[in-house]
Amino acid sequence: MPSTTDSVHVCGFCGKPLEFKELPKLFGMQDKDKDGNDKPFGFYQDCKCADAVKYRQECEKAEEATRKEEERKDFYKRLKCAGIKKRYEKATHELEPENTQKVLEGKSLYICGEFGTGKTHLASAIARKLIWKRKRVRMLTGIDITMMLQATYGSSESEADVLARLAKMPILIIDDIGKEPPSDWVLSRLFAVINARYDEMLPTIITTNYEKSALVERMGKHGDHDTAEAMVSRICEMCELIKLTGNDRRLA
């Protein structure tokens, strides 16, 4: 650490005078000392003694550690804002790298499989990497979407506002589609979101327990079979199928 007394600048470790490196003054710069003489413009160079070098290295290491910790906190804050649940905030998956790349290229994914095969885990791992790359992601379940829409009743925000926001989200993940009550009201709202994203060719990741044909039956269970078929038809065209198999990992 350098120390100074008036015009004397020495190394705080070895006491050696520090070398002053003078720089050319910019046009119009004026700097006078107490006697009215021009003051040189520049800086004192760091001492190269072992203790001074070690001190600077420790300072740089501490600054880097602080920067990384702030970056980590910001990352986990962005995960939370995106809707990534705490259980999945450190999710990794062997299929993540190739499928993250597909989403970055604008492709959509349909991840299906039995209970406990890692559908949400894979979707969360993909979301995590996308968020790390500073992409705007929102992860919601079908039930979350219906609750968001129902919360507009009596508020200043309308259903149309919520649907428009979901339709325009750069990357949207709809987790566990088919778990929501299969009513015509729910179906019509999910169709509106998926149809808008289909038209705009925006990346969408869908996870579900249902094969595509079974999803038609599930969503159209109480009447509107045509809308269910139209929605799943769009999903079939826009999404690449990823089928996960195996035993229920939660019971392993």
106: left (phi over 0), alpha (psi -120 to 50) or beta: left
Q: How far apart are CA 195 and CA 191, in angstroms?
A: 6
181, 192, 221 from 230: Cα distances, Å: 18, 11, 14
Confidence check: pLDDT of 127 > 60:
yes
20's CB contacts (< 8 A; 6+ apart) are 9, 40, 42, 43, 44, 45
Handedness of CA 119, 124, 130, 133 (dihedral sign): negative
pLDDT for residue 220? 87
Q: What angle do CA 151, 209, 113 make, to 5 degrees?
A: 140
Length of the chain: 252
pLDDT at 30 over 80: no
**Which has the higher per-residue pLDDT, 26 or 10?**
10
The string of pLDDT tens digits covering residues 32-61 is 667 767 778 889 999 999 999 999 999 999
Instruction: Give the model's confidence band at 4: pLDDT under 50 very low, under 70 low, under 90 confident, else very high.
Output: very low
Please give the radius of gyration of the chain, using alpha carbons only, rounded to the nearest integer: 29
Q: What residue spans in the chain does CATH classification 3.40.50.300 cover?
A: 86-251
**Long-range CB pairs of 85-89, under 8 A, 24+ apart, other chains included:** 85/124, 88/120, 88/121, 88/124, 88/125, 88/128, 89/124, 89/128
Percent of the chain surpassing pLDDT 70: 92
The pLDDT assigned to 1 comes to: 52
Which residue is it, tokens 């993250």? Answer: 100
Q: Where would I find the H helices in 83-224?
A: 96-104, 119-132, 142-150, 159-168, 184-200, 212-219
Residue 64 token pair: 């880097």
For the chain, percent of residues with pLDDT exceeding 90:
77
Contact 221, 191 (CB under 8 A): no
Question: In this predicted structure, what is the pLDDT of residue 176?
Answer: 95
pLDDT at 37: 74
Contacts for 185 with CB less than 8 Å, ≥ 6 apart: none
Higher pLDDT, 106 or 37: 106
C-alpha span between 60 and 66 (Å, rounded): 10
pLDDT value, residue 28: 63
CA distances from 139 to 133, 208, 234 (A): 16, 14, 20
Q: Which of 243, 109, 81, 249 is nearest to 174 (CA)?
A: 109
Mean pLDDT of the region 226-239: 95
Fold classified for 86-251: Rossmann fold (3.40.50)
What the block records as the tokens of 135 is 């992409």
